Amino acid sequence: MSDSPLLEGLGVTAAEEAAYRTLLREGPSTLADLAARHGASVAALRRLLPRLEDLGLVTRLAGRPLRLLATPPHVAVEALVASRQEEIARSRAAIGPLLAEAAPHPEELVEVVSGRTAVSRRYLQLMNGAREELLVLVQPPFATDATVSSDEQERTMRRGIAVRGIYGPEALDEPHALDHVRRAVASGEQARLGAVPIKLAVADRRTAMLPLTSQHASSVDSSLIVHPSALLDALVSLFEALWRSAVPLPGQDAPDDTVLALLAAGLTDDAIARRLSISTRTVQRRVRDLCDRLGARTRFQAGALYTHHQDR
């Protein structure tokens, strides 16, 4: 059995947890018996007792001498979790009043984050801090490992956060990029393919993150964090305009739709083949089959028909 702390995240100290776990193993015990088995003095345990009772970890049995009983873990831990969740909810509710007290200062509306590690950390923090919605414009290069970013985004969606992402064609050139996108779509992301002029992430329409420079090679080494302002409103409007013109990306179980989406985005057969990890000949065969099924005379018409169908 592991002796590593299990309850420290619930406000239980190592000493308190050790005494509780000893009592769990030994059953109802006097302070003297518990001290002998726990390797602590009776006086030390007596000092811990009020706190253990306040935490709901132990109860006193009737009679003399004093005997202690460990509260069953499913009762004790659930009660501690519920109490901690109430504290978190109260703390979160303080955000609004505290923001109302904060006077806006122009120099605080935009901040600069420098260094690839700091940029990556701040992006993950932005995702984890979202409460309702996350909007992202995706294009390389990336400061955060794609797998880590994908996993964090899935956790974000599991919290009930609505995620909309627009992927530039270059983003799908990254290794396994299309697999990551398909997995995100399967988890609930609304993903589209379209023109992405700049990398961008917006959480709850209250905080935006974008590169400080437009230079491709250095765009992950520094970022701007934009707080509520006219600039933030403009960035949200930019995203919405790009969203309306982007093409929906299908999930894992719709390979033909993926080909059509890439066609609609204007990609060549060679580019589509690279992104789907298949041969150009296979792409050409699929395009011909899709044109026949859709009644399209050209590949561009097939892409246009797909876009029209998705918009209906």
Same domain flag for 118 and 241 = yes
Q: Could you tell me the mean pLDDT of each successive run of 10 residues in the chain, 312 residues long?
A: 78 90 89 87 90 91 87 92 90 83 72 88 89 91 68 80 87 72 84 86 94 71 90 95 81 63 76 81 83 68 59 52
Q: Are residues 131 and 207 in the same domain?
A: yes
Same domain (yes/no): 238, 287: no
| Cα distance between residue 64 and residue 58, in whole Å | 17
Rg (CA), the chain: 28
Check which CATH number belongs to the domain holding 74 and give it. 1.10.10.10
Residues 141 and 182 in one domain: yes
Number of folded domains that form the chain: 3
Whether residues 156 and 235 share a domain: the answer is yes
pLDDT at 296: 64
Per-residue pLDDT at 256? 65
Q: Which of 45, 72, 102 is the last residue of a domain?
A: 102
Contacts of 281 (CB under 8 A, 6+ apart): none
Assess whether 129 and 214 both reside in one domain.
yes
User: Is the full-model pTM beyond 0.85?
Assistant: no
* pLDDT at residue 267, as a whole number: 77
Q: Please tell me the predicted confidence (pLDDT) of residue 239.
A: 95
Same-domain check for residues 236 and 119: yes
Residue that finishes a domain, picked among 72, 102, 132: 102
Is the same domain home to 3 and 44? yes
Tokens of 99: 């923001």
Statement to judge: residues 209 and 96 lie in one domain = no
Here the CATH number for the domain that contains residue 114 is 3.30.870.10
Cα–Cα dist 73/77, whole Å: 5
Is residue 112 located within the same domain as residue 242? yes
**DSSP secondary structure of 124-148:** HHHHHH-SSEEEEEE-S--SS-HHH
Secondary structure class of 164 (helix, strand, coil)? strand
Report residue 165 CA to chain centroid gap.
13
Domain with 187 in it: 108-249
Q: Is the distance from CB of 243 to CB of 260 less than 8 angstroms?
A: no
Task: Indicate whether 114 and 173 sit together in one domain.
Answer: yes
> 274 and 241, same structural domain?
no
